[in-house]
Amino acid sequence: MVAGCATLDKDECRTADWYAIGLEDGARGRAIERLGDHRRACAQHNVAPSAERYIAGRNDGLKSFCTPERGFSEGRAGHAYAAHAPPSSTGCRR
């Protein structure tokens, strides 16, 4: 049952492109705590994520998520706009 909740499976952990995973998570507006979810999933397979690569990818992904247009559409849909962009990027934190 725990494996069904894992963010990544054994093969994904072993062949992970941590930049690409971070990029996808950032583009979806996921919080940095998502890395902890990946870390726990991969720990079961003795794989540790590259936090540096993940964060670089996530920061780049947030650039496509953290836009005024996205904020407007999320608000119009009644959703909270809770992405956490790095202070130096445009969008989520202004």
Per-residue model confidence (pLDDT) at position 68: 87
Number of Cβ within 10 Å of residue 62's Cβ equals 28
Two tokens at 26? Answer: 């950032």
Look up tokens 């009644």; give the residue.
78
pLDDT for residue 82: 58
Please return the burial class of 48, using the count of CB atoms within 10 Å of its CB with bins 0-12, 13-18 and 19+.
Answer: exposed
Which of 24-33, 39-48, 81-90 is predicted least confidently?
A: 81-90
Amino acid at 1: M
Whether 32 has a pLDDT exceeding 70, the answer reads yes
> pTM to 2 decimals?
0.77
Mean pLDDT of 53-80: 89
The pLDDT tens digits of the residues spanning 66-77 come to: 888 888 888 898
CB 61 within 8 A of CB 26: yes
